C-alpha cells in the first residue's frame, strides 16, 4: 500500500503534504453528493435485503394464501401480494438477496480471473502476452450473451452455473485494464528494486503490481456489479436464470410482466427495486472513478 501512494503522486499534483492517494480519493468521493447519497441508499438496500429473515414484520416469502390471491398494496402487504397470495414485499427483499449475491460473486469471479490473466500477460510480455491478448480479442468478438444462454440452457440451471457463466464473460475487460496498468507499472524502479532483492514473478505481480493498479480495478469492479445484476435479471426474465422456488428481481419482473394488465404492482415494485439499485451502483461507480482515476484528477 505504501508504494501505491507514491505512484500517482506526481509532485505537481500532490495535495497537502502527507495526504495519501486513498485519503485524497476518499475526500473527493465525499464531496460528490450524488455518490454519497447513492452509497447510503445502497447500504440501506443491502441491510434490508441481507437482514430480511431477521427483520420483524417481514412475512415468509414462500407462505401462500390462495384465498387472498393477488391484491394491491395495503397495510398488511405494503407491496401487495402475488397470484399465490405471497407477500410481495418479502419476495422483493428475498429476491434482492439473490440478485445482489449473483452480482457480487460473479464480479468476484471476473476479478480473480481477469486480474490474474491480465497481470500475467502484462508482466511476462513478449510473445506470451501477444498470444494471451489475441485470445481475449477473439473472445471479445463473441456474442457472449448467446454463449451464456447456451451454457444456461444446456447445463444445469444452478446458481453456481450462473456465477460461473456471468463471471467468465466479464473478466475480459478486467484483463485488458489490468494488463495496461501492469505494462506501464513494470517499467518503474520499485519493480526493479523488488527484482534485485530476489522477488519471484508471482510475488512481484501480486504484491507490487496489482496493489498499484487497484484504483482502476476497483472502479471497474464497481461498475461490473450492476452490469452483472442486469445480465442475471435478463437471463431470469427469459426463464434461464434463477429457477423457482428461488426468486430474483429478474424473475419477479418476469412474473409480473405476464399479468401486468391486471396486477400492475407485481411488475412495478420489483422493477423499481432493481432500477433503483442499478441506478445507485452506477452513480457510486462514476463517483469512484472521478475520485480514484488519476487521469481525471485535473478536471
Partner 1 sequence: MTRFVVRRLLSIVPTLWVIVTITFFLIRLAPGGPFVSEREIPAEAKAALSAKYGLDQPMHVQYFRYLTNVARFDFGPSYKFPSRSVREIILGALPTSLELGGLALLFALVIGIPIGAIAAMRQNSAWDHVPMGFAMLGVSIPNFVLGPLLIFVFALTLRWLPPALWGGLSHKILPVITLSAIYVAYIARLTRGGMLEVTRQDFIRTARAKGLPEWRIVVRHALRGGLLPVVSFLGPAVARAVTGAIVVEKIFAIPGVGQYFVNAAFNRDYTLVMGVVIFYAGFLILFNMIVDVMYGLLDPRVQME
Which is nearer to partner 1, 112 or 275 (by Cβ)? 275
Nearest to 29 by CA among 227, 181, 222, 226: 222
Q: Give CA–CA dist 217/247, Å, rounded.
A: 31
- What lies within 8 Å, CB to CB, of 48 at 6+ separation is 55, 93, 96
Which is nearer to partner 1, 43 or 55 (by Cβ)? 43
Helix/strand/coil percent split, the chain, to 5 = 70, 0, 30
Which is nearer to partner 1, 147 or 183 (by Cβ)? 147
Contact, 117 vs 175, CB < 8 A?
Answer: yes
Contact, 281 vs 226, CB < 8 A?
Answer: yes
| Cβ neighbours around 190 below 10 Å, total | 16
Contact, 41 vs 276, CB < 8 A?
Answer: yes
**Shortest Å, Cβ 49 to partner 1:** 18
**Shortest Å, Cβ 253 to partner 1:** 6
**Shortest Å, Cβ 46 to partner 1:** 17
Cα-flanking dihedrals φ and ψ of residue 87, to 5°? -70, 120
Interface residues with partner 1 (CB under 8 A) are: 138, 141-143, 145-147, 149-151, 153-155, 226, 230, 233-234, 237-238, 240, 250, 253-254, 256-257, 260-261, 264, 267-268, 271, 274-276, 278-279, 282-283, 286
**Shortest Å, Cβ 131 to partner 1:** 13
**Shortest Å, Cβ 271 to partner 1:** 4
Q: Give CA–CA dist 264/260, Å, rounded.
A: 4
Contact, 151 vs 165, CB < 8 A?
Answer: yes
Q: What angle do CA 180, 181, 184 make, to 5 degrees?
A: 90
Which is nearer to partner 1, 8 or 265 (by Cβ)? 265
Which is nearer to partner 1, 119 or 235 (by Cβ)? 235
| Cβ neighbours around 295 below 10 Å, total | 11
Which is nearer to partner 1, 58 or 268 (by Cβ)? 268
**Shortest Å, Cβ 132 to partner 1:** 15
Task: Detail the DSSP E strand segments found in the chain.
Answer: none
**Shortest Å, Cβ 255 to partner 1:** 11
Which is nearer to partner 1, 204 or 253 (by Cβ)? 253
Amino acid at each position: 500500500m505504501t508504494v501505491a501512494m507514491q505512484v500517482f503522486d506526481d509532485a505537481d499534483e500532490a495535495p497537502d503534504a502527507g495526504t495519501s492517494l486513498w485519503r485524497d480519493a476518499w475526500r473527493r468521493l465525499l464531496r460528490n453528493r450524488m455518490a454519497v447519497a447513492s452509497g447510503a441508499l445502497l447500504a440501506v438496500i443491502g441491510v434490508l435485503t441481507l437482514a430480511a429473515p431477521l427483520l420483524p414484520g417481514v412475512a415468509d416469502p414462500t407462505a401462500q394464501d390462495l384465498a387472498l390471491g393477488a391484491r394491491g398494496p395495503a397495510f398488511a402487504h405494503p407491496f401487495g401480494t402475488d397470484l399465490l397470495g405471497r407477500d410481495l414485499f418479502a419476495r422483493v427483499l428475498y429476491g434482492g438477496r439473490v440478485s445482489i449475491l449473483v452480482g457480487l460473486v460473479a464480479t468476484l469471479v471476473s476479478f480473480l480471473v481477469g486480474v490474474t490473466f491480465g497481470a500475467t500477460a502484462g508482466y511476462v510480455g513478449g510473445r506470451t502476452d501477444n498470444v494471451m491478448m489475441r485470445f481475449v480479442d477473439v473472445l471479445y468478438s463473441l456474442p457472449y450473451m448467446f454463449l451464456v444462454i447456451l451454457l444456461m440452457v444446456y447445463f444445469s440451471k444452478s446458481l453456481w452455473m450462473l456465477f460461473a457463466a456471468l463471471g467468465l464473460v466479464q473478466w475480459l475487460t478486467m484483463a485488458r485494464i489490468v494488463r495496461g496498468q501492469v505494462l506501464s507499472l513494470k517499467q518503474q524502479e520499485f519493480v526493479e528494486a523488488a527484482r534485485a532483492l530476489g522477488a519471484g514473478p508471482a510475488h512481484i505481480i501480486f504484491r507490487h503490481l496489482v496493489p498499484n493498479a487497484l484504483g482502476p480495478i476497483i472502479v471497474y469492479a464497481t461498475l461490473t456489479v450492476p452490469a452483472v445484476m442486469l445480465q442475471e435479471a435478463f437471463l431470469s426474465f427469459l426463464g434461464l436464470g434463477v429457477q423457482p422456488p428461488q426468486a430474483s428481481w429478474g424473475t419477479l419482473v418476469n412474473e409480473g410482466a405476464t399479468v401486468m394488465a391486471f396486477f400492475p404492482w407485481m411488475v412495478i415494485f420489483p422493477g423499481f427495486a432493481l432500477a433503483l439499485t442499478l441506478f445507485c451502483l452506477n452513480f457510486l461507480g462514476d463517483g469512484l472513478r472521478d475520485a480514484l482515476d488519476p487521469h481525471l484528477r485535473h478536471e
